[in-house]
Chain A
Amino acid sequence: MIALLLRDLRLAFRAGGGFGLGLAFFLILAVLVPLGVGPDRPTLALIAPGILWVGALLACLLSLDRIFALDYEDGSLDLLATAPVPLEGVVTIKALAHWLTTGVPLVLVSPVLGLLLSLPVPAYGWLLLSLALGTPALSVIGTFGAALTVGLKRGGLLLSLLVLPLYIPTLVFGAEVVSRGAQGLAVGTPLALLAGITAGAVALLPFASAHVIRINLR
């Protein structure tokens, strides 16, 4: 399983494009929003938590179809499915690789983008924490969506239609943590709910994803 993780990471780093794409998208979004909304700092500060979370969501979405598509095309997914490693484990590793190559970089650059959007100072810690807690859920849910659409020729659009509604709870609680943090309110409840969604998704969704892949490989 570690070998699989390393292989996926190497592919993501070396096989061009995929790795930096999400980050670049995130950056562009943070530049475009002030251009569209206007440079008024209080307004930007008000919408910054939501924009950053929606940006993270969309950036995650960009790289989802790469999780299984290449392996499906060259047949390595069939090999993985018949390997002695349980398919649920393979799916979890795939999600982990996606999180390491997309989620973690997003978490790390988010304070810089918060600066661009004039996010209030007390919110930075909560932004980092909420994204760190929430992005694993995004990767795991996205892996489920990618598994559903793996056999389809033009699955990309369908993938976003399927996955984005599933992202709603994560988005609501994640953005709530940041905006409450920005106003200096208590963030315990949304933070706990966010962590709960992530824990539940990580624990249960790999089974659904593995089942779906078995159907698609049939």
Chain B
Amino acid sequence: MSSLWEYANPLKFMRTTDWLLPIVAVAAVVVTATGLIWGFFFTPDDFRQGSTVKIVFIHVPAAMMAINAWVMMLVASLIWLIRRHHVSALAARAAAPIGATMTVIGLITGAVWGQPMWGTWWAWDPRLTSFLILFLFYLGYIAMWAAIDDPDTGADLTAVLCLVGSVFAVLSRYAAMFWNQGLHQGASLSVAPGTRMDWAYKAPLYTCMVGFGLIFLALVLAGTRTEIRARRMKALVARERMA
């Protein structure tokens, strides 16, 4: 492995992911299952929140991946715009629906958790609001991809949209914080001393976060492989027609 850019070659990418994808997929299932079972059945109930606290093992990793997926799309879009590696553009495309799904999971588990804790399914809290806004950005990005036939034009336009969208998503986040003070607690995990979470919860939570990261990686790899195959098929059909 001499350089990361070698994987910009679709053939090399396909060959490597041929054996990498099953490993990542199995690891994702094992780690996530371990984390969730550990979290759900082998942690004590919180003295105030009772067993509802256990939804944290889905809520926090999903929310984290929702943001990370957008960051990954941003990096992939930049790589596409600067170095024009097709795999990168296709990976960004593959990541969008997964990120959107993670956002929805985060919102739904948050609502289910918020109902017993805050007494409401939804509040216009800055964190909740900016997550909903993030979901809208995902929708726009996915719709943009879906609307354009030519893959290179689509990759270019969505990459620019992703860059501009990132700036406005951050702006919206701060606008939402300015606009309303919230119910949502601060960061659940922090390296600063005096963290509020006990290791009994933290260990399975970290396991779940790694598991969700692996799930995301496996799905993005699978999605990118599907996109590459679809492109190849289109090229073959076009060649057939020419002949």
Contacts and interface: CB of A to CB of B under 8 A. Distances in A.
B233 to A, nearest CB: 24
A161 B165 CA distance: 12
Given A165-B172, A172-B175, A152 B153 contact: no
A173 interface: yes
Contacts of A173: 175, 178
A172 B164 contact: no
Contacts of A218: 153
Interface string A199-214: 0000001001001100
Interface in A46-101: none
A158 B145 CA distance: 11
A148 B168 contact: no
B216 interface: no
Nearest to B141: A162
A168 B144 contact: no
Contacts of B144: 148, 158, 162
Interface string A143-167: 0100011011001001001101110
A56 B76 CA distance: 35
A167 B165 CA distance: 11
B164 A166 contact: yes
B160 A211 contact: yes
Contact of B175 (A144, A169, A216): A169
A165 B133 contact: yes
User: What range describes how many residues of B lie at the interface?
Assistant: 20 to 34
Contact of A165 (B136, B148, B156): B136
A168 B175 contact: yes
A168 B169 CA distance: 9
B207 to A, nearest CB: 34
A190 B133 contact: no
B9 to A, nearest CB: 24
A189 B179 CA distance: 12
B137 interface: yes
Interface string B160-180: 110111001101101110110
B157 interface: yes
A197 B168 CA distance: 10
Contacts of B160: 148, 208, 211-212, 215
9 contacts: A151-B153, A158-B143, A161-B139, A165-B172, A169-B171, A173-B175, A176-B178, A176-B179, A189-B178
Interface of B: 133, 136-137, 139-140, 143-144, 147-148, 153, 156-157, 160-161, 163-165, 168-169, 171-172, 174-176, 178-179
Interface of A: 144, 148-149, 151-152, 155, 158, 161-162, 164-166, 168-169, 172-173, 176, 189-190, 193, 197, 205, 208, 211-212, 215-216, 218
